[in-house]
Structure 1
Amino acid sequence: METPQKTAPPNRFANWLKTSITSRMIAVGFLTLVLLVPLTFIQNLIQERSYRQDEVVNEINQQWGNEVFIYGPILKVPYKTYSEKIVTDKKTKKVFTETHTVINYAYFFPESLNITSNINPETKQRGIYKTAVYNSEIKLNGKFTKPDFSDIEVSENDILWEKSKIIIQTSNVKGVNEAHLTLNKNTYQLSSKYNSQSNVAYNQVAMHTLETKSFTKNPINFNAPTSYNINFNIKGSKQIRFIPTGKQTEAQVTSNWKTANFIGEFLPYNGDKISDSGFDAKWKILDLNRPFSQQHFNNLPNLQDFAFGVNFMIPVDEYQKSERSAKYGFLVIGLTFLVFFLIQTLSKINIHPFQYLMIGLALTMFYTLLISISEHSNFFKAYIIAGISVIVLITLYSKTILQTFKFPVFIGLSLTALYTFIYVIIQLENYALLVGSIGLFLILTTVMFVSRKIDWSNA
Structure 2
Amino acid sequence: MENSQLKPLISLKYSVTLKLLIIGFLALVLLIPNAFIVSIIEERSFLNEEAIKEIGSKWAESQEIVGPILSIPLVYETEKDGKKTITNEDYQILPHQLKIEGKVLPEILKRGIYKGVVYRSDLVIKGSFVVLDDFDKKDFVGFKTPEAKVSFGVTDLRGIEDEVDFTINGEKKQVNPGTGNFKMIASGFSISMGGSELVVGDSIPFTIRLKLKGSKNLSFIPTGKTTDVHIQSPWTAPKFDGKFLPNNRNLSEEGFTADWKVLELNRNFPQSWVNNAYAENLKSASFGVDLLSPMEDYQKSTRSAKYALMTIGLTFLMFFLVEVLGKKNIHPFQYAMVGFAICLFYILLVSISEQVSFNIAYLISTIAVVGTICLYSLSLFKVKKYTFILATVLLGSFGFLFVTLQMEDYALLMGSIGLFIILATTMYITRNIDWNRMSLGKSEESPDQSS
CA distance in 2, matches of 1:340, 1:97: 102
Contact 2:63/2:214 (8 A) holds in 1:
yes
State how many pairs are aligned.
Answer: 433
Classify 1:194/1:324 alpha carbon distance in 2 versus 1 (closer, same or farther; 3 Å). Answer: farther
Corresponding residue number in structure 1 for 2:124? 139
CA distance in 2, matches of 1:263, 1:26: 50
Corresponding residue number in structure 1 for 2:350? 371
Contact 2:164/2:210 (8 A) holds in 1:
yes
SS of 1:303 mapped into structure 2: helix
Contact 1:78/1:104 (8 A) holds in 2:
yes
1:47 aligned residue (37, 42, 45): 42
Corresponding residue number in structure 2 for 1:30? 25
- Residue 54 of structure 1: CA displacement? 1.8
Corresponding residue number in structure 2 for 1:238? 216
Classify 1:115/1:373 alpha carbon distance in 2 versus 1 (closer, same or farther; 3 Å). Answer: same
Percent of counterpart pairs with the same letter? Answer: 37
Stretches of structure 1 that go unaligned for 5 or more consecutive residues are 1-5, 86-95, 200-206
After TM superposition, the score normalised by the length of structure 1 is 0.80
1:130 aligned residue (112, 115, 118): 115
Classify 1:289/1:62 alpha carbon distance in 2 versus 1 (closer, same or farther; 3 Å). Answer: same
Contact 1:167/1:209 (8 A) holds in 2:
no
Classify 1:455/1:242 alpha carbon distance in 2 versus 1 (closer, same or farther; 3 Å). Answer: closer
Corresponding residue number in structure 2 for 1:65? 60
Cα RMSD for the two superposed structures: 3.7
CA distance in 1, matches of 2:107, 2:262: 30
**1:145-224 correspondence to structure 2 within 5 Å:** 145-150=130-135, 152-157=136-141, 160-177=144-161, 178-184=163-169, 185=171, 187-192=173-178, 208-212=186-190, 218-223=195-200, 224=202
Corresponding residue number in structure 2 for 1:89? none
- Residue 370 of structure 1: CA displacement? 1.6
CA distance in 1, matches of 2:14, 2:257: 73
SS of 1:396 mapped into structure 2: helix
1:292 aligned residue (245, 258, 269): 269
- Residue 52 of structure 1: CA displacement? 1.9
1:401 aligned residue (343, 355, 380): 380
SS of 1:370 mapped into structure 2: helix
CA distance in 2, matches of 1:283, 1:142: 16
In the alignment, is residue 456 of structure 1 matched against residue 436 of structure 2? yes
**1:438-453 correspondence to structure 2 within 5 Å:** 438-449=417-428, 450=430, 452-453=432-433
SS of 2:335 mapped into structure 1: helix
Corresponding residue number in structure 1 for 2:395? 416
In the alignment, is residue 350 of structure 1 matched against residue 335 of structure 2? no
CA distance in 2, matches of 1:17, 1:194: 86
CA distance in 2, matches of 1:52, 1:248: 43
Stretches of structure 2 that go unaligned for 5 or more consecutive residues are 440-451
In the alignment, is residue 388 of structure 1 matched against residue 367 of structure 2? yes
Contact 1:53/1:129 (8 A) holds in 2:
yes
- Residue 274 of structure 1: CA displacement? 6.6
After TM superposition, the score normalised by the length of structure 2 is 0.82
CA distance in 1, matches of 2:55, 2:287: 24
CA distance in 1, matches of 2:281, 2:247: 25
Contact 2:318/2:390 (8 A) holds in 1:
yes
Corresponding residue number in structure 2 for 1:312? 291
- Residue 403 of structure 1: CA displacement? 2.1
Amino acid aligned to 1:426: L
CA distance in 2, matches of 1:397, 1:153: 90
Amino acid aligned to 2:351: S
SS of 2:187 mapped into structure 1: strand
In the alignment, is residue 330 of structure 1 matched against residue 330 of structure 2? no
Contact 1:16/1:23 (8 A) holds in 2:
no
2:406 aligned residue (422, 427, 433): 427
Corresponding residue number in structure 1 for 2:446? none
Amino acid aligned to 2:281: N
Q: Deviations over 1:90-109 (max 9, x none)?
A: xxxxxx99999875433210
Classify 1:56/1:75 alpha carbon distance in 2 versus 1 (closer, same or farther; 3 Å). Answer: same
Corresponding residue number in structure 1 for 2:444? none
Corresponding residue number in structure 1 for 2:443? none
CA distance in 2, matches of 1:187, 1:139: 16
CA distance in 2, matches of 1:254, 1:421: 35
- Residue 211 of structure 1: CA displacement? 4.6
SS of 2:23 mapped into structure 1: helix
With 293-302 and 351-360 compared, the bigger mean Cα shift is at 293-302
Corresponding residue number in structure 2 for 1:437? 416
